[in-house]
Amino acid sequence: MTYKLPDKVIREINVKYECFFGREDTDGWDVRQAMNDLVGFDSVPEPRIIVAALHACRRLNDYALSVRFLEMVKHKCGHEVDKIYPYIVQEVGSTVAELGTDFPETLGYDKPELFLQSVFSM
């Protein structure tokens, strides 16, 4: 049996994290802690939360954190990555371009660094 949170609770969580990332007094530790909390949820963050987190990363001037956060979002898509992640890219793509951040695929992080062809398939 699966349990679905009521829509009111989901809206409250979205507003909580959107406001948290939008605060001017959050430092790097706080942003990382909030991102870690989002990883613990059994869902993919809403695009507006992702946008707020990317703006927080830009405010902190932490490029690496923004790329790793986008990598985490892709990982959270799980088996539905072919359906969910293109929607996420579509929704946050303009913000990523505006902030000068890159998606992990643009940097080549979606492929292994030292990939070698298997000797068994030669």
Structure tokens at 22: 């939008």
Look at the chain and count its residues. Answer: 122
- Which among 58, 57, 45, 56 has a CA at the least distance from the CA of 15? 45
Q: Which of 1-5, 7-11, 23-27, 45-49 has the lowest mean pLDDT?
A: 1-5
- CA 103/CA 122 separation, integer angstroms: 33
DSSP H helices, the chain, are: 7-22, 28-40, 47-59, 63-76, 81-99
- Percentage of the chain beyond pLDDT 70 is 98
Give the pTM.
0.86
Structure tokens at 65: 């954190």
Q: What pLDDT, on the 0 to 100 scale, is given for residue 121?
A: 76
Structure tokens at 46: 């809403």
Q: What pLDDT, on the 0 to 100 scale, is given for residue 48?
A: 94
Q: Is residue 1 scored above 60 in pLDDT?
A: no
**All domains of the chain, ordered by start, with CATH?**
7-121 (1.25.40.40)
